[in-house]
Structure 1
């Protein structure tokens, strides 16, 4: 957003677009060596995370265009700061 001077909605969309090939390559590599077996061992947790991800994507899609950049940028800043604090305090 800052580097290329695009609005936050465009930056978010481009971020998803750039992430897709990375996720596909990672999925292919992990599925080849059997690393996804851990998901079956933790099926309940896996399903909760998948449901949350789907719900977040649907809600985000529905809210797209509802909030202005004046709301989105400070909200994103708060989320990033909270995440950074949680990561720094993690043992």
Structure 2
């Protein structure tokens, strides 16, 4: 994940690659995609992953659940940043 890249952009790019791999007949399970995402996330998502680990077995989390949690966290962070900018003006 690049620092400037949004979660949705990253997941779309990764899923595009996964779908191409699946088209050539290789099995690529969602659990593996979830693992790849968790390993490649930026440090700013560490607290989110730690919270998930406390409440869920990450080996059983679905791709949809993971993406929802990450996008929600990113949205909250962006809203806080906007609030700080508006407050400074």
TM-score, structure 1 normalization: 0.32
Which structure: larger Rg?
A: 1
Higher relative contact order structure (alpha carbons within 8 Å, sequence separation ≥ 6)? 2
